[in-house]
Structures are given as C-alpha cells and as structure tokens.
Amino acid sequence: MSSMPDAIVKQDAKYLADNARRRKQFSLWFYFLCVAIALISVVILVVLMISIWSQGQSRLSSDLLTRSHSELEIERSGMWPAILGSLFVCGTCALVALPLGVGTAVFLEEFQPTNKLLRWIHGFVQLNISNLAGVPSIVYGLLGLTVFVYMFNVFGQIRVNESAGMEIMGYKHFYQVLTLEPGHVVFVPQSDPTKRQTTFDEPFQAVDPDGNSIEISIWTPGTPKPSDPAIRRQTVRAGAIGGTITERSWYYFRLPFDKSFLSGGLTLALVILPIIIISSQESLRGVPSSLREASMGLGATTWQTVRDVCLPAALPGIMTGAILAMGRAIGEAAPILVVMGAAVAKSTGPKHLMDDAVTMPVLIFNWAGRQQDEFKELSAAAIIVLLVVLLLLNSTAIYIRHHVQKAQS
C-alpha cells in the first residue's frame, strides 16, 4: 500500500498539463504587464525631458551659470546665486541630518532596551519615525518657521531693519556719518546698541572706509568752509546725524535664526531625517546575526561590534539611503518657500551664517510663474541645470559608495 495521498498519486495528467500551461500564461502576462508599466514610465520621462530640452536649450549659456537674476536684462539673467544657495542649504542639511539619522538608527536597532517600559518607549519612537516619513514637506516648513526662524519668539520678535533677537558673535555696530566731502563717510563705533541714531556736535574719533583711525573735526555753518578735500574728508557738519550700520563676519551668529540659509538647511534636515533613519535601520537589519554573535563571542562590547562589524557591513545601504534623501532635499521647494520666502533678487551666495539665500527650486518656481516667455525658457534651462547638479552629486556619492564597498571586499 502506497503511503502517498491519493490526491498526489491519482492526478489527472490532462488537468496537470492545463494547469501548468495556465500558470505559464499568467506568468507571461504579468511579465509583459511589468514591462509595459516600466516602458510607460520611461516614455513619460523621455517626453518630459524632450519638452524641457526643446524649451530651454536656447538659454543654456555661460550667462545662465555666471550671472544673477535681473529684471532689466531678462535675456542675461542667471542662476549663479541660486546654485551657491542650494549648495549651502543642502550642505547644512547633510551635516545635520546624516550623523543624527545614522546615530538614531544605530541606537534604535543595536541598543534595544530590555526593560518593559523602555521597550514601550522604543516602540513608540519607532512608530512615530515611520509615520513622519509620510508627512508632507509643507508641514515641516511650518515647523521650521516656528522653531528655527522665530524660535517661539523666546529671543524677541523679528523687526524690519533692526537687529533681531540676541546677537552672539561676529558683528560690529557703527554710526555712519557723512563728511563735508560729497559721497565720503566715516564710521564711529556704536557704544549703546539700543540707540539707533546719534548727533555729533564735538570732535570725535572715527574710522575711514579702509579701517584707519582718524580724528574728525566739526564745521559750524556760518564759518569758512574748508576747501582742501583731505580736510573735508575729516570734517562733519555740526549737528550731523549718524545712523546705525552693522559689519558682519562670516561667523556672525544670532538667535533666532531669522530667514537665513541655516534655517532652511535645518528645516530640510527635518524633512529627510525619517528617510535616513529608516534606510539605515534596514541596512543594519541586513547584517547577518552570525557576525554580531562571532564578535560578541570574541569578547567585544556592543559598541565595538557596532563600530567594527555592523556599520562597515551596512555602509553601502546607508549611503544609498543618504543619496536618495539628499536628492529629495535638493529638489524641495515648499519648505524653503515657507522658511526663507520667495525673493530671488540676490546677486551673491550667503556671506555669513545668518545670511539669506536663493535656491534653485525657488528660482525655477519664480521664473515659471512669470508672464514673459523669456522667463519660461529660463525656467526650463534652470531645470536642466538642476538635473545635472543632482546627477553630479548622486554620481559622486555612488562612486564613493562603490569605492568603500570594493575596499571592504
């Protein structure tokens, strides 16, 4: 008596052949469906690229890469300040998000608590990180506006044309005074930061535009006016009013951050942080447990195992997640519009930590919304430049990833 079930022993050959043919047909149809979906995506991408190229290729010139936005010479408008602004904002974003995201992933994945309460907190944090990955970026923009730009008004409200909040370092306040020589000014160090203007009726010490200390004399109306230009540059009218002007170093820092590129970079870091954490966790989970057990069996601590075994093995996956996250950051416009505004009239990149910046997505948004055809062509050309910059950054990161992966093997 056979031990095999009758359903297996007494199978109908014709039924089995039909069933096999039907499964092969389903498999073939599913294959063609996947190919069709992939081809549709590629065709849509190619149509978009051809449309953008045909519209913007005529504006791909050296002016586009070396000049700034201009209302008077639209044909010669460029995006150099926007390229610098995007690099500064995304650099700030990477410096904050990458170590914080990878560190959080290591803590959540490799240092899981054993206490019941701590495990509940660990699960709660994990659940929130997963949910935050799907939150629209405009919500992060509103969060960045409250936290980084205004800091809940803890350090005072931001006012137009006034020193906002608490200035920490990298600044010098002067009174700017016009001398008797037309167009020539001297600067007097400001002793009281709350006094916005002052009047000069007596001789005083000042510095010229070159930074040299000079003695300033007072000329009283009704008396002979000096005719020597050198003397006129060291003389001011009695009752002359000096207004406040601020000289800022590159490390100028204040609280709150106001509409600076630092606020924009920190807000973008919030946007991509959940993506980096989740991708880093998936990479760490892919490391075989046998490697951890072997390391622990040799007497290594948990930190030594993470540092010397888990992180090197998971590094290619972590870098892949970081590349995808930075690609999203460089193309984000909504949070930047909320935090830094839509102004594009800037001729240089950021000059200090608290300086504002124009980014490429905001410039494209501004140009694409204008009525003139020249600006629409410029926006298409700017999209091409943005794609090229994105490809260069991704290619560099992929090369580094493969170089590291090859060195490990």
In a domain, 158, yes or no: no
Mean pLDDT of 363-392: 89
Mean pLDDT of 340-360: 88
Residue 160 pLDDT greater than 80, yes or no: no
Round to whole Å and give the CA distance between 241 and 236: 10
Largest CA distance in the chain: 134
Q: Could you tell me if 331 and 360 lie in one domain?
A: yes
Amino acid 204: pLDDT: 87
Round to whole Å and give the CA distance between 92 and 102: 16
Domain final residue pick, 19, 38, 57:
57
Residue 2 pLDDT greater than 60, yes or no: no
In a domain, 112, yes or no: yes
Of the candidates 353, 361, 282, 359, the residue with the CA atom closest to the CA atom of residue 322:
282
Mean pLDDT of 142-159: 84
Least confident among 131-135, 263-267, 365-369: 131-135
**pLDDT-derived band at 140, boundaries 50, 70, 90:** very high
In a domain, 396, yes or no: yes
Residue 354 pLDDT greater than 80, yes or no: yes
Amino acid 272: pLDDT: 92
Pick the more confident residue, 23 or 164: 23
Q: Could you tell me if 142 and 208 lie in one domain?
A: no
Residue 351 pLDDT greater than 70, yes or no: yes
Mean pLDDT of 197-226: 87
Q: pLDDT tens across 289-321, in order?
A: 999 999 989 999 999 999 999 998 888 888 888
Pick the more confident residue, 275 or 210: 275
Amino acid 393: pLDDT: 78
Amino acid 212: pLDDT: 85
The 3-class SS string of the chain reads: CCCCCHHHHCCCHHHHHHHHHHHHHHHHHHHHHHHHHHHHHHHHHHHHHHHHHHHHHHHCCHHHHHCCCCCCCHHHCCCHHHHHHHHHHHHHHHHHHHHHHHHHHHHHHHCCCCCHHHHHHHHHHHHHHHHHCCCCHHHHHHHHHHHHHCHHHCCCCCCCCCCCCEEEEEEEEEEEEECCCCCCEEEEECCCCCCCEEEECCCEEEECCCCCEEEEEEECCCCCCCCCHHHHCCEEECCEEEEEEEEEEEEEEEECCCCCHHHHHHHHHHHHHHHHHHHHHHHHHCCCHHHHHHHHHCCCCHHHHHHHHHHHHHHHHHHHHHHHHHHHHHHCCHHHHHHHCCCCCCCCCCCCCCCCCCCHHHHHHHHHCCCCHHHHHHHHHHHHHHHHHHHHHHHHHHHHHHHHHHHHC
Tell me which amino acid residue 82 is.
A
Tell me which amino acid residue 125 is.
V
Q: Could you tell me if 316 and 243 lie in one domain?
A: no
In a domain, 164, yes or no: no
Amino acid 390: pLDDT: 84
Q: pLDDT tens across 19-58, in order?
A: 899 999 999 999 999 999 999 999 998 999 899 999 888 8
Residues 6+ apart with CB under 8 A from 372: 74
Q: Tell me the pLDDT of the chain averaged across its residues.
A: 87
Q: pLDDT tens across 234-288, in order?
A: 899 888 888 888 888 889 988 888 889 999 999 999 999 999 999 999 999 999 9
**pLDDT-derived band at 373, boundaries 50, 70, 90:** confident
Amino acid 162: pLDDT: 60
Mean pLDDT of 192-212: 84
Q: Could you tell me if 331 and 378 lie in one domain?
A: yes
Q: Could you tell me if 186 and 211 lie in one domain?
A: yes
Question: How many structural domains does the chain have?
Answer: 3
Q: Could you tell me if 191 and 302 lie in one domain?
A: no
Q: pLDDT tens across 64-85, in order?
A: 889 988 888 888 888 999 999 9
Amino acid 7: pLDDT: 67
Q: Could you tell me if 262 and 141 lie in one domain?
A: yes
What sign results for the dihedral spanned by CA atoms 347, 353, 359, 362? negative
Mean pLDDT of 104-130: 88
**pLDDT-derived band at 161, boundaries 50, 70, 90:** low
Amino acid 164: pLDDT: 58
Residue 255 corresponds to which tokens in the numbers above?
């609280």
Residue 10 pLDDT greater than 90, yes or no: no
Domain of residue 196 covers: 171-248
Residue 11 pLDDT greater than 80, yes or no: no
Amino acid 61: pLDDT: 87
Residue 158 pLDDT greater than 70, yes or no: no
Residue 99 pLDDT greater than 70, yes or no: yes
In a domain, 1, yes or no: no
In a domain, 162, yes or no: no
Q: Could you tell me if 280 and 339 lie in one domain?
A: yes
In a domain, 212, yes or no: yes
Amino acid 38: pLDDT: 95
Q: Could you tell me if 235 and 268 lie in one domain?
A: no
**Are residues 83 and 351 in contact, defined by beta-carbon separation less than 8 angstroms?**
no
Burial of 375-397, coded b for 16+ CB within 10 Å and e otherwise, reads bbbbbbbbbbbbeebbeebeeeb
Q: Do you know the residue count of the chain?
A: 409
